[in-house]
Amino acid sequence: MTSCLARRRFLFQCATLSAVASVPLLSTSARAAFDHQHAPWNALLKAHVVAAAGGNASALHYAGMQRDREALRGYLTALSAVSMQEYGDLRSIKDLGSLVQSPWKTKFFRLLGTERTLDDVEHGLIRAPGVFDDPRIHAALACASVGCPMLRNEAYVGVSAERLDAQLDGGLRRFLSDRTRNRFDPDAGTLQVSKLLDRYRNDFEQGHRGFDSLQTLFARHAEVLADTLPAEAEIRTGRVRIVFLDYDWSLNDAR
């Protein structure tokens, strides 16, 4: 039982740190002694993220991460040590859970001086209204499942707005380019897209970053969703029927 619990805790750490690390990276303050280049996390990602053919999806080599668990634990400890005072400008898978508590609601790490859950990070910090208001984050956060967006093999670095902007744009384009998650069926005249976009469609309807609807999102990225020029033109009309695909919750293990 002890080894089982330890493995579950380890999977929590290595499969979801991309979400945890996003909060300090998005801050505009750089007063902390914390390594804002996230060199230890970058090294782990470079070593253990395996890109799929085409480069629009990835899996994580969990066995390799487990061998490097001391480095992972050290990075998590460094994140946990950062206090809110050091970031004065900051304004604000399923099997890993239990019958009474989901993995996203389990407090298992500290961030900015407070014990957190993954839901705290995603919904309370990153998606908090009026803080970042950037729907592109839904193509950046990885939830350790096959259906989620690609886990980058580098950290999201907010030391420059241009760099972070390029990373978020690139992540969104890669996600929409992945035909296992998003594709246009010219015969049926339907745009078949990830259920993730249905779950968070409200974030794409608020006008943030110029997105006021999912149709606007798809029209702006028609060239990566379509395989032909006629299909691209049809998607740009904003009148294609949208079908949401089933979500694959299986573990994104590179084994």
The predicted-structure confidence for 206-234, as pLDDT tens digits, reads as follows 999 899 999 999 999 999 999 999 999 99
162: helix, strand or coil = helix
Tell me which residue has tokens 């968070």: 200
Residues 205 and 123 in one domain: no
Read off the tokens for 250.
Answer: 């299986």
**pLDDT of the residue at 183:** 94
5 or 76, higher pLDDT: 76
Residues 109 and 133 in one domain: yes
Q: State whether residue 182 is helix, strand or coil.
A: coil
Domain span at residue 7 reads 2-178
Q: Do 209 and 154 lie in a common domain?
A: no
Task: Name, of 87-91, 102-106, 142-146, 187-191, the range with top average pLDDT.
Answer: 187-191
* pLDDT of amino acid 233: 95
Query: Which one of 178, 193, 219 terminates a domain?
Result: 178
Average pLDDT over residues 192-204: 95
Give the per-residue pLDDT at 164: 87
- Report how many domains make up the chain: 2
Give the pLDDT score at 7: 46
Beta-sheet pairing, 241-245 with 190-194: parallel
Whether residue 254 is contained in a domain is answered as no
CA distance 55 to 83: 36
The pLDDT of residue 121 = 84
Q: Which of 136, 153, 178 is the last residue of a domain?
A: 178
Instruction: Identify each DSSP E strand in 34-139 by its residue range.
Output: 49-51, 58-60, 109-111, 114-116
Q: Are residues 223 and 110 in the same domain?
A: no
Question: Are both 223 and 102 inside the same structural domain?
Answer: no
Of 200, 142, 132, 196, give the one whose Cα is nearest residue 164: 132
195 and 132 co-located in one domain: no
Model confidence at 93, pLDDT cuts 50, 70, 90, reads low
pLDDT digits (tens, 9 = 90+) for 38-86: 788 878 888 888 877 777 778 888 888 888 888 888 887 777 776 655 5
With 50 as the cut, is the pLDDT of residue 27 above it? Answer: no
pTM for this one? 0.66
